[in-house]
Amino acid sequence: MAKRRSLGIISGLGGPWVRGLLIFLVLLSIAMLALDRARPEQSPFFHVKQVVADTVRPAMTILSAPLRTLNQVSAAFASNWQAAKRVRTLEQDNRNLMQWRDLALALHEKMSRYEELLGAPKAPTPIVITARAISDAGGPFVRARLVNVGADDGVAEGQAVLAYNGLTGRVMSVGRRTSRVLLLTDLNSRVPVFITDIGAHAILAGDNSGAPRLIYIERGKQLRPGMRIITSGEDGVLPRGLAIGQIAASRNKDWRVNLFARPERVDFVSILEVAPIKFEDSLPGADVPVPASDIPAEIPLASNTTVPESTETAASQSVGGE
Q: What CATH number should be reported for the domain holding residue 142?
A: 2.40.10.340
In which band, very low, low, confident or very high, does the pLDDT at 137 lie, cut at 50, 70 and 90? low
Q: Are 240 and 163 in a shared domain?
A: yes
Q: Are 63 and 163 in a shared domain?
A: no
Q: Are 75 and 209 in a shared domain?
A: no
Contact status, residue 139 vs residue 146, Cβ threshold 8 Å? yes
For the ranges 65-79, 139-153, 176-190, 275-289, the one whose mean pLDDT is highest: 176-190
For the ranges 6-10, 25-29, 92-96, 261-265, the one whose mean pLDDT is highest: 92-96
Q: Please check whether residue 63 lies inside any domain of the structure.
A: yes
Does residue 272 register a pLDDT over 70? yes
Residue 250: domain span: 127-273
213-215 β-sheet, strand order: 213-215, 200-205, 190-195, 228-231, 243-247, 257-259
- Range of lowest pLDDT (81-85, 176-180, 305-309): 305-309
Q: Are 196 and 69 in a shared domain?
A: no
Mean pLDDT of 133-141: 69
Q: Please check whether residue 157 lies inside any domain of the structure.
A: yes
Q: Please check whether residue 187 lies inside any domain of the structure.
A: yes
**How many C-beta atoms lie closer than 10 Å to residue 13's C-beta?**
10
DSSP 149: -
Q: Are 265 and 138 in a shared domain?
A: yes
- Range of lowest pLDDT (56-70, 98-112, 186-200): 56-70
Q: Please check whether residue 143 lies inside any domain of the structure.
A: yes
Q: Please check whether residue 102 lies inside any domain of the structure.
A: no
Q: Are 197 and 264 in a shared domain?
A: yes
H helices then E strands: how many in the chain?
5, 12
Q: Please check whether residue 258 lies inside any domain of the structure.
A: yes
DSSP 204: E
pLDDT for residue 102: 94
Q: Is the pTM of this model over 0.75?
A: no
Greater model confidence, 136 or 272: 272
Mean pLDDT of 2-26: 65
Q: Are 135 and 223 in a shared domain?
A: yes
Q: Are 134 and 71 in a shared domain?
A: no
pLDDT for residue 304: 46
pLDDT tens-place string over residues 216-229? 998 888 899 999 99
Say how far residue 195 (Cα) sits from the centre of its chain: 16
Look at residues 55, 81, 107 and tell me which one is the last residue of a structural domain: 81
Number of domains in the chain: 2
Q: Are 164 and 60 in a shared domain?
A: no
Q: Are 55 and 173 in a shared domain?
A: no
Does residue 319 register a pLDDT over 50? no
Q: Please check whether residue 290 lies inside any domain of the structure.
A: no
Q: Please check whether residue 237 lies inside any domain of the structure.
A: yes
Contact status, residue 181 vs residue 171, Cβ threshold 8 Å? yes
pLDDT for residue 91: 92
The residues, any chain, with a CB within 8 Å of residue 110's CB and separated by 6 or more, are: none
Does residue 270 register a pLDDT over 90? yes
Q: Are 261 and 197 in a shared domain?
A: yes
Q: Are 66 and 139 in a shared domain?
A: no
